[in-house]
Chain A
Amino acid sequence: MSPLKHKHPEGPYWRSLGELAGDPDLQQLIDHGVVPPDLGAPSRRGFLKALGASAALAGLAACRWPEEKILPYAHRPAGQTPGTPQHFATAMEIDGVALPLVATSYDGRPIKVDGNPAHPASGGASTTIAQASVLGLYDPDRSRGVVERDGANELNRDWAAAEAWLKGRLDAHASDAGAGMHLLLPITSSPTAQHLVESIEARLPRATIHRWSPISRRNESLGAMAALGQPGRPLLDLEQAHVVLAIDEDLFQGHPDAVRLSGQWGRRRDPDQEHMLQLISVESGFSLTGAVADHRLPLAPSRIPGFLAAVALALFDQHHIAVPAGGEAIVSKLREHFANAQAHELAAQAAQALASASTHAAVVVGPGQGVGAHSIGWLINSALRSGAVKVLLLPDEQISGTLESLAAAVAGGSVQTLLVLDTNPALDAPADFDFAAALASVPHSAHLGLYRDETGQACQWHLPMAHYLEAWGDSRSWDGTLGIAQPLIEPLYTGRSVIELLSFLATGAHTPGYDLVRGGFAGAGVLDALNGRTTEQVWSQALADGFTATHFSQSDPPVSRFQALTPSLDPSGDLALSAAPASGLQLRFAPCPKVLDGRFANNAWLQELPDPISKLTWDNAALMSPATALGLGVTSGDMLTIGVLGVSIEIPACVMPGIAADTAVLPLGYGRKAAGAVAALAGVDVYPLRDSRSMWSVGGATATKLGRRHTLASTQDHYGIDARGAAEAEGRISRLVRTAELADYKHHPDFAQHTVHAPPPISSWKEHEYKAEAWGMIIDLNKCTGCGACTMACQAENNIPVVGKDDVIMGREMHWIRNDRYFAGDVEQPSVAFQPVTCMHCELAPCEQVCPVAATQHSDDGINTMVYNRCVGTRYCANNCPYKVRRFNFFAYTKGASAIEQMVRNPEVTVRSRGVMEKCSFCQQRISAARIKARNEGRELRDGEVLPACAQVCPAGAISFGDYNDPDSRVAALAQSPRTYELLPELNLKQRTRYMARVKNPIATADAGEHDDHGDDGHGGQAPTTVHSAATDELGARSATARQQSEKQQNSDHGGHNQ
């Protein structure tokens, strides 16, 4: 256990102080994996309890450690003060990419994780999934022990029995050197795991190791292999970029490096800098990247490679960029196949923008694109000599087997023993492998996983896996930095990690994870550069920091390797859809931004987090554009049968503007059968439609309306609104999310101040004076990517309950900060505006006025506080809040959580009871903690010392927090910006949360200079709510442009793009 500041490489790990003190119940849990009744085994009403897990209840004695047992500390462990949080660096690995984290631990239980501020891949920020992972740790539905299935009987076993069985298998395979033994591993970058795999291969040379992830970025590395002759991954550096063209790639959410990229995006979206980043996005679904892009073009999956080819050809032919050496063959192939294709207008514009940005331009291609498209991406980046994309050359470890080879081996009957580690192929393998049936034919099988999931139930043995917060590990972040994951708590349910199991296979004995990681660390080449320090010093430092500064080698895109390109640039091959013709409905499979491929499906926080664009919770749906839906005769909620390649599923339709025409986007990871009580409620499994030839998209699908309906739990009405309401909503957006184009902004930097003119507000009474701090928040809408991490961090920090699908349908979600999403313009090509909305902490708060029992009050430092125990629950405050940020406990959402579930709760924040109003407090507990610290040190609070959870987590750095009364503070400076405005200023509420207007950076065209000169009118402030046309009609103007583009696109589509 190594706190950030104190370095104690070793020490006791305990789950609670009760264990340290020898609590017999806990001891039983540790020794036998038996959860005593008062620790709350999940009952049939597991769902309610899962809901309860999302909130805290400090009032019950059982929630925390038995307090009387704290005292027997004879010797307090160094660095431990009961009740004082400690922070430990760790890391969360998803598909081989680590997100460096710092976990907050209260008395031995981790309650919150945040990004590691010292790490370049995080900078202190993190993601929704990382934030929610703490809830997953305490999930009562996690697998709680070893289970052996013998025919129809299921027997509870322990690890000793499992080890005996494993040993038996190892012995059985000793004679044939492992032939017939297969291991299915997740994709991992752990040097320890790699080292152990090598040991296993040495011991059982004929054993086969396979790796599998349903959402791997395999095409990306194959593309690099094809183009560069070496596996590698693109390292995009937005700091160096002026223009980025994203082809079906979500840089800000789906991407493994999204946190770092979002941070760069935030820094590069300051309109006052010389070259504000320009982003162009072409995609089939609707990603965050598309949402924040300056230009976005929705294209069906089959048309995207053509677009990329058109950009490449325009660059080489119209803009006379030199083809890199070795690339001529590709270009001639492109000419051959795409010369007659009528490209979209945006392709020409994008090519022009890329050409003029030259070395500051970059093209990124998403994992859903074929190898060919990735090759073209490399070609363009090489040709432009882009300084914004580097190659991270990966060690050659992609040689191991794949799921495909495993499926073939199983079908061939050569698999005697199959060990499936931390993957779930019974759920997510391509449908044509029929893996669940294949598993049944394997004589000996075992599964290690967090849940006894679909694979766990299909295998003979299921072994519980340790959560990442329970286990030692190591892994590399996207840029190759090696990080160490240290556990915060002993395994709650006797789980073991993947490396521990691998080590058992390698050695035939159990080795604790710590020793393995320590050994792997020694073997990872870290110690090559000791610089005079001892191994122990290096290790301690790495443990405290969470990472070491060793990277794989990076290089500029090599320009000389293109001769190695595979000859697969046939539109019928990798460049296009491989499995079906581009006719009929095209399906695009997309990892869900919340549950990913389904592995987080049992996380109630994530399930209830609204999807950033569709705002769906607790469900997936076939997302399609209004035109596509009209063609099918469906509206949101209509059940559809979607069939392709002879398989069909039933799924509700969700009409969402901006999805490509004739395309349905199917989010993966829902409809889980064996993932727990929470996941069982949510959505439809779309994996049956996905086969190995069409992992990401497929054409020629059919969709038929079933005539049944399904109620989708959306937190925002999306086109369920009547025409009048929709028109009004669209009309208001320009007042709420103030937007200008960069050229207009340069001309009128204060456009945001003149979007709405109201009569000067006058208060009829003496207002408060705030002589102490005046806490305030400024949210830069130009940086916000809408990812929703703020909502999730707030939920984790403030014990916000989950209400469940039915109550979301009723409109009762509890999030204290929500991200409003508005569409504007043409419904087929809308522009999107995000606006995180939290309590404005109005100085003249309308909620305070109307509360009859004075339960909501202003503090001296100007925070609108809720006094929960004084609240009677009239809900008048919520009615009178113009921002609708107050949240009411309609039921006892926090009641009934088991002791384990309650462990996630933050003891610094009151758990609210039924009938009480709650809302954002600016994380008052953090302000208090910082103030106490400052007072103890005899100094003033420093700017930046207090960070609310939302500001801390925001990867784009869009949220700033501080003291308006401190003239040197960041918020005081930002408040002076002409872009800073108040939401609904005409109400004279003196909001403390303010916004900075968006500035879009569209590609300059010939008529871009035109804008009406409105700088001199309306400054008298007399005209009530005068809305300036240029600033506010921006969305409208964009929509007009988009409509023209849409028409042109249709023309081009009819113009023979598909040859």
Chain B
Amino acid sequence: MSFLNTPEPIDNTWERPGERPPLTTPEQTFTTVTDTVCGIVENPKPPRAWWIALGVSLSLLGLFGAMIVYLLFTGIGVWGVNNPVGWGFAIVNLVFWIGIGHAGTLISAILFLFRQKWRTAVNRFAEAMTIFAVACAGVFPSIHVGRAWVLHWFFPVPNQMDMWPNFRSPLLWDLIAIATYLTVSLMFWYMGLIPDLATLRDRAKSKVRQIAYGIPALGWRGSNRHWLRFERAYLLLAGLATPLVLSVHSVVSFDFATSQLPGWHTTIFPPYFVAGAVFGGFAMVALLIIPSRELFGLKQLITIRHIENMNKIMLLTGSLVGYAYAMEFFIAWYSGNSFETFAFLNRAFGPYAWAYWIMIGCNVIAPQFFWSKRLRTSPWFAFGIVALINVGMWFERYVIIVTSLSRDFLPSSWEYYSPTWVDGLTLLGSFGLFFTLFLLFVRFLPMIAMAEIKTVMPAADAHQADHKPLGDYWGDFPQGRAERSRWRASVGLEAKGDNKLPAGSRFDPPADQDSEEVTS
């Protein structure tokens, strides 16, 4: 798999005040971006790795289906849940997948509002992941109920009992929050796709593709008026989606926080869950994007800086989560509530200590490696860390849900929970659903927001040199080899060999490589 280790075409990770590093390699033009991104979708023969991945994913999806059918025909008892531990893997998976679904909208909406231009390379990816994760998440509450065939009683719609659902129940809030989040995320994602779908339509060579991309492109012509409306709507949706990023996992946390179970009944849950969700969501984005940029040759668009920025966010949110873990302990002690105190001591030192310390190791300790620039700018090292973070975030939910339930107020009811093989295969199968959707996405839709990334390229600002000092704009990149060389001298890159870019670094490729970077 030598293709998985191509050299980084650019090192744009330096930090200097007054200067914005570029977000694409210098030779990228609007055309190359379009060709690169559309080329993946238009390629008649996807890479062999894609087929292999799809085969595995579909098998897992089949497994998922089989497990669900078995469950529905047999009963919840095929899982490991028992009397004190009424919620097991299903709810752990629900919260895990919902958490994964956080990064997309955060990148799309919040980073958009904060004018974080680097988001453009990863937002499509992340939004797609959000929707697929929420789809996975949606499966679990539906199948975890004892009588899935009357699930519609959850919804505030007319039913034969002529009854409203119970609006006091956090599960209902949950349903509404997740449904809202899914709707807005889906809208946001689709709207951002429209210009790119139009591009694909316009480039399509077969009737089928023209129709298939033409209908969802909604007649986009790229007129000024279209763009005006588009950008305004995008801004509004971003404004609408931003509170949802915070609300959905806050509401999910209410499932636990509003109960009175020691270990669940905690006011810190909403911010802690949101931080954890962003943490886990970014970890999943990174987990997918690092191999994808290798596999589809997108390193010139998704640069090492993108990876680094995400790693920084993970360092921040991971530390927030670590703080929350510590604060839970503090409050458990400070409250003087012996049930709470025991709940947390039991988590760390009881029969589930192994899960707790996996969680601490993966969520709190692992991201601390990102303090080192060398490590956080090394994609495959980061890949390992984010894989651990995904494991850790799953275990966080496991620890919260299972340890609290297994030992609550009356010691007589304490019971150990162990998952069954059905639990394990269902979790595995849910990855099949996620990756199947994801692989179809990367095959049939532009995985990078072409229209958006073009806005952060130097070409988008033809008059930059006239109005702004050099480096004041994301993507400043003098065109042409001679100019670039002058620019590099002016910013001292060539003068100072001891800069963060030592001589011969990848930023300074041999002249003959310039043309190869685009065409992998």
- A-to-B contact residues, CB < 8 Å: 716-717, 721-722, 724-725, 728-729, 731-733, 736, 807, 810-813, 818, 820-822, 835, 837, 846, 849-854, 870-876, 878-880, 882-884, 887-892, 913-917, 984, 987, 1024-1025
Contact = CB atoms under 8 A, between A and B. Distances in A.
B351 A820 contact: no
B147 A916 contact: yes
Given A725-B351, A849-B258, 18 more contacts: A716-B412, A810-B77, A811-B84, A837-B410, A850-B258, A852-B171, A853-B153, A871-B147, A872-B150, A876-B87, A880-B261, A884-B84, A884-B409, A889-B75, A913-B147, A915-B76, A917-B146, A987-B260
B409 A812 contact: no
B354 to A, nearest CB: 12
A875 B407 contact: no
A890 B151 contact: no
29 contacts: A724-B345, A724-B346, A728-B411, A729-B411, A729-B414, A732-B409, A736-B410, A807-B77, A811-B82, A811-B415, A850-B170, A850-B259, A851-B169, A852-B154, A852-B166, A852-B171, A854-B165, A871-B147, A876-B86, A876-B87, A878-B86, A880-B260, A883-B410, A884-B409, A889-B146, A914-B75, A915-B146, A987-B260, A1025-B336
Determine which residue in B145, B148, B410 has the highest number of CB atoms from chain A within 10 A of its CB, and name it: B410
A878 B144 CA distance: 14
Given A871-B147, A879-B87, A891-B77, A837 B412 contact: yes
Interface string B84-95: 111100000000
Contact of A722 (B77, B84, B350): B350
Interface in B134-179: 144-148, 150-151, 153-154, 161, 163-166, 168-172, 175
B408 interface: yes
B6 interface: no
Given A874-B145, A914-B146, A887 B83 contact: yes
A969 to B, nearest CB: 28
B169 A850 contact: yes
Nearest to A895: B75
Given A820-B410, A888-B86, A891-B75, A872 B166 contact: no
Given A807-B77, A987-B260, A884 B83 contact: yes
Nearest to B343: A728
B349 A852 contact: no
A47 to B, nearest CB: 16
Nearest to B338: A1025
- Interchain residue pairs A-B with the least CB separation, the first 5: A873-B146, A915-B146, A890-B77, A811-B82, A729-B411
Given A872-B150, A887-B83, A889-B146, A852 B75 contact: no
A619 to B, nearest CB: 18
A875 B146 contact: yes
Contacts of A872: 145-147, 150-151, 153-154
A849 to B, nearest CB: 5
B413 interface: yes
B405 interface: yes
B244 to A, nearest CB: 21
A851 B345 CA distance: 30
A914 B149 CA distance: 12
Contact of B83 (A717, A820, A876, A888): A888
Contacts of A812: 77, 82-83
B165 A852 contact: yes
A879 B150 contact: no
A879 B261 contact: yes
The size class of the interface chain B forms with chain A is 35 or more
A736 to B, nearest CB: 7
Nearest to B150: A872
A610 to B, nearest CB: 11
Nearest to B259: A880
Interface in B28-82: 74-77, 80-82
B83 A915 contact: no
Given A725-B414, A812-B77, A853-B153, A879 B86 contact: yes
Given A820-B410, A837-B410, A850-B171, A878 B146 contact: no
A728 B413 CA distance: 13
Residue from B346, B349, B351, B412 whose CB has the most chain A CB atoms within 10 Å: B412
A846 B166 contact: no
Given A849-B169, A853-B165, A876-B171, A722 B351 contact: yes
B166 A813 contact: no
B337 interface: yes
Given A852-B154, A915-B75, A987-B260, A890 B81 contact: yes
A849 B87 CA distance: 17
B342 interface: yes
Nearest to A885: B413
A874 to B, nearest CB: 5
B373 to A, nearest CB: 42
A818 B83 CA distance: 13
A731 B408 CA distance: 14
B81 A915 contact: no
A724 B349 contact: yes
Contacts of B83: 811-813, 878, 884, 887-888
A722 B171 CA distance: 34
A733 B412 CA distance: 10
Contacts of A810: 77, 80, 82
A437 B148 CA distance: 57
A728 B340 CA distance: 12
Contacts of A736: 410
A784 to B, nearest CB: 14
A852 B351 CA distance: 32
Interface string B397-437: 00000000101111111110000000000000000000000
B146 A725 contact: no
Contacts of B261: 879-880, 882
B81 A875 contact: yes
Contacts of A878: 83-84, 86
User: Which residue among B164, B338, B407, B413 has the maximum number of chain A CB atoms within 10 Å of its CB?
Assistant: B413
A811 B418 CA distance: 11
B171 A874 contact: yes
Contacts of B405: 879
Given A811-B84, A888-B76, A890-B76, A882 B409 contact: yes
A857 B68 CA distance: 31
Given A724-B350, A854-B166, A820 B412 contact: yes
Contacts of A987: 260
Contacts of B175: 852
Most chain A CB neighbours (cut-off 10 Å) among B87, B147, B170, B336: B147
B442 to A, nearest CB: 36
Contacts of B345: 724
Given A725-B346, A822-B411, A849-B169, A892 B147 contact: no
B304 to A, nearest CB: 45
Contacts of A852: 154, 165-166, 169, 171-172, 175
B80 to A, nearest CB: 7
Contacts of A728: 342, 346, 411
A364 B164 CA distance: 63
A959 to B, nearest CB: 18
A291 to B, nearest CB: 15
A1024 B153 CA distance: 41
A788 to B, nearest CB: 14
A717 B168 CA distance: 35
B388 to A, nearest CB: 27
Nearest to B412: A820
A847 to B, nearest CB: 10
Contacts of A722: 350-351
Contacts of A875: 76, 81, 86-87, 146
A888 B84 CA distance: 10
A917 B80 CA distance: 17
Contacts of B148: 915
A617 to B, nearest CB: 14
